[in-house]
Structure 1
């Protein structure tokens, strides 16, 4: 366990080399960590004007995408820790999850849109990072889309929500695949998928990390309880490590 930020750790991702992790926090910053040394590398990424809620690393490990409560997505250069562009898109509400597609062309962002007449819609939107073209909208959940990941073959999207469900989607047409994963007793904050696509990990405000089989959509093993709310989770490329971040600002490796 490592004290990673002064406020809650809200996003986490492994680099492909497995030796580094990037974390995002409600302290408005991102940080890169050395896994073996448990040490902070260089300086923080600073640019969001509100809480950072999600983080993702490009397939070539050269760029980082972060989404925030400031309704924006920022693309960062890993080496310089500078913004590649001005904030990528301006959503109607907070961006709760970002991820790169395996081919690196497209960037989906899960978010909530509040409308005056129809109440609350909970969608996934897919954008092209080449020219910021809007590609696809999925009416996904009955509550906030808290996290979204792309399968490594690019064929599916997986989403987790405040409605306590995990759902699988065809990334080409937005159709749902199979039944949801159900088991968390409080809203799900984060989602990660293994590199071989065989299992996913989720964290929830019920203070548990749970593993799920991507074929059966059933839970794998038991879900141990933790002492603080778990806000984010990531799986190393080789599938041997799981990293989780909690509401006390701590980073944990399993």
Structure 2
């Protein structure tokens, strides 16, 4: 027990730093082959990385504005990216070339993208208050836009494909995918429901919010009631949340410059991965042994998950109160003005 506690106080640096973007990294998506990661940046480009070699396979250009969202289809055939000008591009994952011209998908910024479980549709969510569905065979709009009556910050299909969860400025809405019928809506957070993530088996939906309520909350899809107390620890808005493939760990990225690693069974923070600037996106590696994060400091970082977090939960481990602090190399913040503002206002 003493050795365990001691190991939880060690400090380290990322396994690897990826540098190619020239502005903040706003989005990250991992391929299931475990080797490739794609990132989207305010520099208007996507970078496709080789995780093992730590090199850029290709810098993908085509957007005319800062990229806000990216997603990889479940069959990994497509990459989709959306920007602050409401423009959408679909890419071929193998050739890394655009499959479409720029599509003016929305009048407001595209904040979120997700492919349906069967890969037939791409959903786009925007600050213009709508969600739109696009055919992945024609890249044409399917049906009318879904009016959410408030700015849309995140959209996530349930693993089964049965439901589409939509996080808006004022609430979280649950739609039946086939009929688009809204079967539930609830006020998950006081305001600004920023991020969503499903458990792999669909048994829980997680939500996160801004500095006004920098918590993570869990929701039961059978009742759409909150499960347990809010998860507290972050001190500024939570920009993104991710769940590992086994459904045992949750990672959250925040403007407090931290990624927190939580154990789902008891909502305990196992590790804090410390960055030099705001953290906008986070994902688990396919093998579940690493976390990939993107930050305002223009870097993509790969972190090793502590072995204690990968082991089966034991009563002895629950008594360990120390938190592992994993710290990136010290450097001058590249976004000081934004840091100053973040204490007073929401800056998505």
Q: Same fold (TM over 0.5)?
A: yes
Aligned to 2:286: 237
Could you list the runs of 5+ residues in structure 1 that have no partner in the other structure? none
Q: Are 2:34 and 1:18 aligned? A: yes
C-alpha change, 1:231 and 1:40, in structure 2 (3 Å) is same
Aligned to 1:153: 201
Aligned to 1:34: 50
Greater share of residues in helix = 2
C-alpha change, 1:171 and 1:200, in structure 2 (3 Å) is same
Greater share of residues in strand = 1
* 8 Å contact from structure 1 (residues 74, 88) kept in 2: no
RMSD: 3.3
Aligned to 2:84: 69
* 8 Å contact from structure 1 (residues 110, 124) kept in 2: no
Q: Equivalents in 2 of 1:93, 1:167: separation in Å?
A: 27
Q: Equivalents in 1 of 2:26, 2:217: separation in Å?
A: 21
Aligned to 2:297: 248
Q: 2:68 aligns with which of 53, 63, 82?
A: 53
Greater CA drift, 191-200 or 80-89: 80-89
Aligned to 2:190: 142
Q: Which has the larger radius of gyration?
A: 2
Q: Equivalents in 1 of 2:92, 2:61: separation in Å?
A: 10
TM-score by length of 1: 0.79
Alignment of 1:161-180 (within 5 A): 161-162=209-210, 163-169=213-219, 175-178=224-227, 179-180=229-230
| TM-fit CA distance, 1:50 | 2.3
| TM-fit CA distance, 1:169 | 3.8
| Aligned residue pairs, count | 245
Could you list the runs of 5+ residues in structure 2 that have no partner in the other structure? 1-16, 130-148, 152-168, 304-348
Q: Equivalents in 2 of 1:212, 1:110: separation in Å?
A: 27
